Amino acid sequence: MISIEAIDHIGVRITDPARALAFYAVLGFAPIVEVDFDAVLILKNNAGVEINLVVNGVDLHGGQNILMDMPDKHPGITHVAFKVTNMQQTITQLGAHQIAITQGPVSFGDGHVSVFVRDPDRNTIELRARLTQASAAQIEGLTFYDPKG
């Protein structure tokens, strides 16, 4: 068996590097390397989380994400979830940068609260924080998912 210790980085295919860099900068990521032998930009945040922007995407579906927006459900990784420190501050920063929340804030009953956003290429990103009674009272519009319907 292979012993995996942690996620090393996430590769995100994009179409427009300037748009993607501006978006991911709001999430705290900055470029550290532009690979000279491949179409890859390596970004990191202050916590050392790494994203590789793969700059060879082609929009064949009119801005729709094939995994999330198309009626047929294709296999693949649908989203990445990043842990954030403060959900209300996260929501405020998203609004200040005109980044739309596509779902949430929502709690799925596991002690966390999440919001979902899309990057400029419609890749889905979940921003997730630990939910406490104090934070729940501060998060406007928070809904709790009820699996029973």
Sign of CA dihedral 76, 71, 125, 121: positive
| Each residue's pLDDT tens digit, 102-139 | 999 999 888 899 999 999 999 999 999 998 877 777 88
The Cα angle at residue 100 between residues 45 and 128, in degrees rounded to 5: 50
**pTM of the full predicted structure?**
0.87
Give the percent of the chain with pLDDT over 70. 97
All domains of the chain, ordered by start, with CATH?
1-58 (3.30.720), 76-149 (3.10.180.10)
Q: How far, in Å, CA of 7 to CA of 19, rounded?
A: 25
pLDDT score of 148 more than 70:
no
Exposure letters 114-140 (e unless 16+ CB within 10 A, then b):
bbbbbbbbbbbbbbbbebeeeeeeebe
| Each residue's pLDDT tens digit, 25-55 | 999 999 999 998 999 999 999 999 999 999 9
